């Protein structure tokens, strides 16, 4: 078949499918707004169907795979799209949902005539693939048809032409879905079973965030009825990042998933009983200037996030639990007596995993009931006596501890065990803050952990938890989150090579994987980077290369672009002048939709933003509390750009004063934000992290 006739064949089919979709949309009819419960339920289903059909109307499908099941006489074409569609009358499947088992063939197939297998609910299905075709449909119009595999043709491997086409496009201010080009290694992770803690170590731009979001959509489809979107949660590093990723799930037909930061979530759980101390922003402190490895390792954030610190917290909680049983009996009147042994027995009959405060409340109710029954058994009637007995009960109940998380944490920090781990100065400072109901980010994990142990989790246990940028999490944070699930079902993703928050986060994945039983844990690595050109990835790999053993270089997809420029400036003034000129040139070229100027710290970025403003160039200066990312031209400290991407990136201060020998990860993060164009400027000495003189012009 010629390319032209293939195009015509597909264009005809698209028209037919679109006709069916539009007919079905028309037939859905007017909205129901009445009070009948059954009708309301049906209306929810109609609404969901309408949403699916609306997505399908924009782009009914993006792929076709011709699969011949074993024992079948001929191959059958299967069209894969974001939402499954059946014919309105015959019920024939017109489009297969990308999450359906058979669709995995489209993603997993890598060429060759050998039989392939996919897992269906009824068992493995074997067969052969005859055609793999990508189709690009925009606004209902077929624009491109690319065959990546045709059985019997000489080149039997699947080509990446369609992927390269997608990667070459410019980006706007929102991350996009990748359903049409999910790669085999990504698909494997997306389709991993639910009840596991899945860890993904992936190089910059390997699609970790994207994969995690697609995995949520997959789990909701695969385990429909068993899990719910409103019992899933995504943890991201900051609110701006949440805004950046906010478009992906709706595009995949998924709503209602909570998306939050660990800080916001913890403060919510703590019912806003404390606030973050605005006077201390750890990022401003740690990124103000280069820091040594020893400084990072000795940071109080690392200690408070450690399992050793959690052990102290657990010991304190155990003592609090033991104190639920008072030393004295409850004896409101001579001969009316409940002994500590009886109380211990009452408590022991409770479910041991019940939060302390619930057990305490239950105990007090039990004592009340006991008093009532004694009252009746002894046929008492004197109202004054009753009031006296109740007062005694209240006084006794007061002796049973009921601390808040902040009180218990503050008490713990005053004890020798805490001071053995933490500097006494730090303990005293935290206690002082707590008195003013203030905390630092590093205190949130212990506090929320204690709170949940004391009071229970506020809400239904989570069906699935996603943690993005997990290299910045501590073991204690994960322990706090584990408490909010009945069984581990998590997707935990990150990149140790981007672990720039070494003062709080992990230094090896085993710090987190060890928290789960091996049988419930999956670990995957993603090495291919889809974001940047080969030139940018090679350059970024060299920045990391200086870190020595254990570095896994990113493997680029074969997408070539311009060389990376490293340019020396004679003075700081000249440097700012060049920033303005470069930005102006890039904007005028019309090649880039998103441009970022990155600086080492907020001071450097403020100077750049001023220089741009003086030149009449509008730019958004991003600070740590930024809520949204608007695209266009952005000036942002490198540490806040993590997770984002831009068509063109200018690193404005690549000198050795800004990026010291210990800052390879930070510079790597900065360089890997660029899709198509990367330029670095420096004054004086170039940072030693860029060792390759050939790269310097």
Q: Which residues are annotated as a binding site for ATP?
A: 202-209
What is the nearest approach in angstroms of ligand ATP to the Cβ of residue 695? 21
Cα 545 from Cα 591, distance rounded (Å):
31
Binding ligand ATP (rule: CB under 6 A), the pick from 174, 176, 386, 482 is 176
The three-state secondary structure class of 583 is helix
Site for ligand ATP in 263-322 (CB under 6 A): none
Candidates 131, 383, 424; CA nearest to 300 is 424
Cα 99 from Cα 87, distance rounded (Å):
19
Enter the tokens of residue 128: 């052969």
Does 208 interact with ligand ATP (rule: CB under 6 A)? yes
The three-state secondary structure class of 150 is strand
The three-state secondary structure class of 39 is helix
Q: Do 531 and 498 form a contact (C-beta atoms < 8 A)?
A: no
Does 206 interact with ligand ATP (rule: CB under 6 A)? yes
At how many degrees (to 10) do helices 405-413 and 441-455 cross? 120
Does 178 interact with ligand ATP (rule: CB under 6 A)? yes
Q: Do 320 and 355 form a contact (C-beta atoms < 8 A)?
A: no
Does 645 interact with ligand ATP (rule: CB under 6 A)? yes
What is the nearest approach in angstroms of ligand ATP to the Cβ of residue 213? 8
Q: What b/e readout covers 634-662, taking b as 16+ CB neighbours within 10 angstroms?
A: bbbbbbbbbbbbbbbbbbbbbbbebbbeb
- Paired with 467 in beta bridges are 235, 492
What is the nearest approach in angstroms of ligand ATP to the Cβ of residue 80? 14
Does 672 interact with ligand ATP (rule: CB under 6 A)? yes
Cα 424 from Cα 416, distance rounded (Å):
9
What is the nearest approach in angstroms of ligand ATP to the Cβ of residue 136? 13
Q: What b/e readout covers 584-608, taking b as 16+ CB neighbours within 10 angstroms?
A: eebeeeeebbbbbbbbbbbebbebb
In sequence order, what DSSP letters do the residues of 313-341 get, joined into one string? HHHHHHHHHHTTS-SS-EEEETTEEE-HH
What is the nearest approach in angstroms of ligand ATP to the Cβ of residue 207? 3
Binding ligand ATP (rule: CB under 6 A), the pick from 239, 453, 464, 531 is 531
Does 658 interact with ligand ATP (rule: CB under 6 A)? no
At how many degrees (to 10) do helices 307-322 and 356-377 cross? 0
What is the nearest approach in angstroms of ligand ATP to the Cβ of residue 523? 16
Judging by DSSP bridges, how do beta strands 336-338 and 141-150 pair with one another? Answer: unpaired
- Which CB sits closer to ligand ATP, 326 or 561? 561
Does 204 interact with ligand ATP (rule: CB under 6 A)? yes
The three-state secondary structure class of 502 is coil
- Which CB sits closer to ligand ATP, 443 or 472? 472
- Which CB sits closer to ligand ATP, 209 or 259? 209
Cα 197 from Cα 538, distance rounded (Å):
32
- Which CB sits closer to ligand ATP, 207 or 488? 207
Cα 165 from Cα 184, distance rounded (Å):
18
Candidates 220, 212, 307; CA nearest to 515 is 307
Please report the sign of the dihedral spanned by the C-alpha atoms of residue 37, residue 41, residue 47, residue 49.
Answer: negative
Q: With CB under 6 A as the contact rule, which of the stretches 173-181, 298-306, 362-370, 604-612 interacts with ligand ATP?
A: 173-181
Q: With CB under 6 A as the contact rule, which of the stretches 60-68, 177-185, 252-260, 302-310 interacts with ligand ATP?
A: 177-185
Radius of gyration of the chain (CA): 30
- Which CB sits closer to ligand ATP, 421 or 534? 534
Does 174 interact with ligand ATP (rule: CB under 6 A)? no
Binding ligand ATP (rule: CB under 6 A), the pick from 202, 253, 475, 502 is 202
Judging by DSSP bridges, how do beta strands 116-120 and 123-138 pair with one another? Answer: antiparallel
Judging by DSSP bridges, how do beta strands 123-138 and 63-69 pair with one another? Answer: antiparallel
Binding ligand ATP (rule: CB under 6 A), the pick from 20, 24, 148, 181 is 181
Site for ligand ATP in 458-517 (CB under 6 A): 495, 498
Does 209 interact with ligand ATP (rule: CB under 6 A)? yes
In 224-332, which residue ranges form alpha helices assigned H by DSSP?
A: 239-245, 248-251, 262-269, 282-287, 293-297, 300-304, 307-322
Does 186 interact with ligand ATP (rule: CB under 6 A)? yes
Q: With CB under 6 A as the contact rule, which of the stretches 178-186, 437-445, 447-455, 480-488 interacts with ligand ATP?
A: 178-186
- Which CB sits closer to ligand ATP, 355 or 632? 632
What is the nearest approach in angstroms of ligand ATP to the Cβ of residue 663? 17
Candidates 300, 294, 306, 307; CA nearest to 280 is 300
**Residues touching ligand ATP, count (CB under 6 A):** 24
Please report the sign of the dihedral spanned by the C-alpha atoms of residue 543, residue 548, residue 551, residue 554.
Answer: positive
Q: State the binding string over 210-239 for ligand ATP (x if CB under 6 A, else -).
A: x-----------------------------
- Which CB sits closer to ligand ATP, 299 or 498? 498
What is the nearest approach in angstroms of ligand ATP to the Cβ of residue 177? 8
Enter the tokens of residue 580: 């303005």
Enter the tokens of residue 513: 């994987």
Does 643 interact with ligand ATP (rule: CB under 6 A)? yes
Binding ligand ATP (rule: CB under 6 A), the pick from 106, 330, 473, 530 is 530
Site for ligand ATP in 138-167 (CB under 6 A): 163, 166-167
Residue nearest to ligand ATP (CB): 207
- Which CB sits closer to ligand ATP, 535 or 645? 645
Does 556 interact with ligand ATP (rule: CB under 6 A)? no
Does 566 interact with ligand ATP (rule: CB under 6 A)? no
Does 182 interact with ligand ATP (rule: CB under 6 A)? yes
Task: Say how many residues make up the chain.
Answer: 697
- Which CB sits closer to ligand ATP, 53 or 648? 648
Candidates 673, 594, 599, 587; CA nearest to 636 is 599
Does 207 interact with ligand ATP (rule: CB under 6 A)? yes
Q: State the binding string over 350-389 for ligand ATP (x if CB under 6 A, else -).
A: ----------------------------------------
Q: How many CA atoms lie within 13 A of 2 on its CB side?
A: 3
What is the nearest approach in angstroms of ligand ATP to the Cβ of residue 472? 11
List residues binding ligand ATP (CB under 6 A): 163, 166-167, 176, 178, 181-183, 186, 202, 204-210, 495, 498, 530-531, 643, 645, 672
């Amino acid at each position: 078949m010629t390319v032209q006739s293939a195009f015509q064949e597909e264009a005809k089919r698209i028209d037919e499918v679109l006709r069916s979709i539009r007919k079905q949309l028309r037939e859905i009819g007017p909205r129901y707004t009445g009070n009948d419960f059954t009708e309301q339920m049906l209306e929810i289903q109609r609404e969901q169907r309408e949403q699916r059909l609306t997505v399908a109307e924009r782009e009914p499908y993006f792929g076709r795979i011709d699969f011949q099941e074993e024992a079948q006489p001929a191959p059958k074409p299967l069209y894969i799209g974001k939402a499954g569609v059946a014919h309105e009358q015959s019920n024939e499947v017109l489009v297969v949902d990308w999450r359906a088992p058979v669709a995995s063939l489209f993603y997993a197939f890598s060429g060759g005539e050998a039989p392939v297998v996919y897992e269906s609910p009824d068992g493995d299905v074997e067969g052969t693939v005859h055609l793999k075709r990508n189709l690009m449909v925009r606004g209902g119009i077929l624009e491109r048809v690319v065959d990546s595999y045709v059985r019997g043709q000489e080149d039997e491997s699947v080509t990446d032409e369609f992927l390269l086409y997608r990667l070459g496009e410019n980006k706007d201010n929102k991350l996009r879905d990748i359903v049409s080009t999910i790669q085999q290694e990504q698909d494997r992770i997306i389709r991993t079973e639910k009840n596991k803690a899945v860890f993904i170590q992936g190089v910059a731009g390997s699609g970790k965030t994207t994969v995690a979001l697609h995995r949520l959509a997959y789990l909701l489809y695969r385990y429909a009825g068993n899990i719910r979107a409103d019992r899933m949660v995504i943890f991201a590093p900051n609110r701006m990042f949440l805004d950046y990723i906010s478009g992906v799930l709706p595009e995949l037909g998924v709503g209602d998933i909570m998306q939050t930061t660990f800080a916001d979530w913890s403060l919510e759980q703590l019912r806003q009983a404390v606030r973050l101390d605005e006077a201390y922003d750890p990022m401003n402190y740690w990124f103000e200037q280069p820091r040594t490895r020893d400084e990072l390792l000795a940071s109080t954030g690392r200690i408070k996030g450690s399992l050793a610190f959690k052990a102290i917290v657990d010991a304190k909680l155990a003592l609090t639990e033991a104190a639920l049983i008072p030393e004295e009996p409850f004896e409101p009147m001579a001969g009316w007596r409940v002994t500590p042994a009886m109380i211990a027995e009452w408590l022991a009959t409770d479910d041991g995993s019940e939060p302390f405060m619930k057990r305490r409340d239950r105990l007090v109710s039990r004592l009340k009931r006991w008093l009532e029954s004694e009252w009746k058994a002894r046929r008492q009637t004197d109202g004054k006596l009753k009031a006296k007995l109740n007062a005694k009960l209240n006084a006794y109940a007061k002796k049973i501890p009921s601390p808040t998380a902040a009180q218990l944490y503050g008490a713990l920090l005053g004890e020798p065990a805490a001071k053995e781990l933490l500097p006494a100065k730090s303990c005293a400072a935290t206690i002082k803050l707590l008195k003013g109901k203030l905390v630092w980010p590093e205190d949130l994990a212990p506090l929320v952990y204690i709170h949940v142990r004391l009071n229970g989790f506020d809400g239904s246990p989570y069906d699935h938890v996603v943690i993005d940028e997990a290299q910045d999490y501590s073991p204690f944070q994960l322990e706090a989150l584990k408490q909010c699930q009945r069984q581990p079902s998590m997707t935990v993703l990150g990149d140790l090579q981007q672990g720039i928050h070494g003062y709080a986060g992990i230094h090896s994945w085993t710090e987190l994987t060890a928290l789960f039983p091996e049988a419930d844990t999956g670990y995957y690595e993603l090495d291919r980077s889809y974001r940047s050109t080969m030139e940018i990835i090679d350059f970024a790999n060299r920045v990391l290369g200086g870190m020595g053993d254990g570095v896994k270089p990113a493997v680029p997809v074969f997408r070539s672009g311009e060389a990376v420029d490293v340019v020396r400036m004679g003075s700081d003034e000249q440097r700012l002048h060049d920033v303005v000129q470069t930005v102006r040139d890039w904007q005028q070229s019309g090649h880039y939709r998103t441009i970022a100027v990155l600086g080492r710290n907020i001071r450097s970025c403020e100077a750049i933003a001023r220089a741009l403003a003086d030149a009449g160039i509008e730019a958004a200066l991003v600070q740590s509390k930024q809520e949204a990312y608007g695209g266009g031209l952005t000036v942002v400290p490198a540490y806040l750009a993590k997770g984002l991407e831009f068509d063109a990136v200018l690193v404005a201060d690549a000198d050795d004063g800004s990026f010291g020998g210990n800052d390879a990860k930070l510079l790597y993060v900065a360089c890997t934000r660029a899709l198509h164009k990367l330029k670095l400027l420096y004054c004086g000495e170039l940072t030693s992290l860029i060792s390759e003189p050939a790269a310097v012009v």
